């Protein structure tokens, strides 16, 4: 799928740059909490032991006066260690944006924070559209709208052609019916008058042709 197709599927709104920023942190799937807990422990970011918590993120939570940072880390703790979630729904744009806030804390606090953040997203199968930009979203939207307009135009042409073919078929049927009716009438007239077979054939051929011509030349309806 293209980036714009993901935008439509997820229902993202805003400017192209805002949409790209939302899409850039959405993952291919959610992450089971057990994987997140193991990853936090192995990276010594947050360890929950018999004597309480430890790790880089725990230390930041305890030391910061930034309410946003503290709230983000508290939500992470509640989700992973508080039994309040079965998975981190990083495939959901709203949740993904909040998780991205926590990863921004990691990037700022740890020298290899970018690599650790990339590793985290790997737990979810990777990002849907890594590095997506507003320009890309705009370009793919234009391509999608152009393709849709072209498809609509082709369908209209096909519908017109089918209608024309149907009208032509009806015209041919009408001509045939008129010719048949004329032939039947002339046949009965010949029988009644006792004319020869040759004379009758010549007469009904002329009558059938005249009837067919009359149908052809009749004005078409609206």
pLDDT tens digit sequence for 28-62: 999 999 999 999 999 999 998 888 899 999 999 99
What's this model's pTM, rounded to 2 decimal places? 0.63
- For residues 107-126, one letter each, b for 16 or more C-beta atoms within 10 angstroms of the residue's C-beta and e for the rest, the string is beebeebeebbeebbebbee
Could you tell me which of 124, 132, 82, 81 has the C-alpha nearest to residue 99?
124
pLDDT surpassing 80 at residue 165: no
Q: How far is CA 60 from CA 118, 121, 213, in A?
A: 20, 21, 94
pLDDT at 222 over 60: no
pLDDT tens digits, 115-144: 999 999 999 999 999 999 999 999 999 998
Sign of the four-CA dihedral 220, 215, 174, 189: positive
Phi, psi (rounded to 5 degrees) for 48: -105, 105
CA nearest to 79, candidates 66, 95, 68: 95
Rounded Cα gap, residues 31 and 47, in angstroms: 18
pLDDT at position 221 over 60: no
pLDDT of residue 138: 95
Quote the percentage of the chain above a pLDDT of 70: 77
Using the predicted structure, report yes or no on whether residue 213 has a pLDDT greater than 80: no
């Amino acid at each position: 799928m293209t980036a714009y197709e993901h935008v439509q599927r997820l229902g993202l709104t805003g400017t192209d740059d805002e949409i790209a920023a939302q899409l850039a942190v959405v993952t291919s799937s959610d992450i089971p909490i057990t994987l997140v807990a193991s990853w936090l422990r192995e990276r010594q970011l947050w360890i929950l032991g018999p004597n309480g918590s430890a790790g880089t993120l725990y230390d930041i939570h305890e030391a910061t006066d930034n309410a946003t940072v503290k709230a983000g880390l508290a939500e992470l703790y509640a989700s992973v260690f508080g039994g309040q979630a079965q998975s981190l729904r990083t495939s959901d744009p709203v949740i993904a944006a909040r998780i991205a806030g926590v990863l921004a804390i990691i990037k700022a606090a740890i020298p290899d924070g970018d690599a650790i953040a990339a590793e985290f997203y790997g737990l979810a199968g990777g990002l849907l559209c890594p590095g997506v930009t507003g320009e890309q979203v705009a370009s793919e939207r234009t391509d999608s709208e152009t393709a849709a307009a072209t498809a609509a135009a082709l369908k209209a042409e096909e519908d017109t052609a089918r209608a024309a073919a149907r009208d032509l078929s009806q015209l041919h049927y009408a001509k045939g019916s008129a010719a048949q009716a004329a032939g039947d009438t002339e046949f009965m007239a010949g029988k009644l008058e006792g004319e020869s077979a040759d004379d009758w054939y010549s007469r009904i051929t002329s009558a059938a042709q005249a009837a067919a011509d009359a149908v052809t030349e009749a004005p078409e309806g609206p």
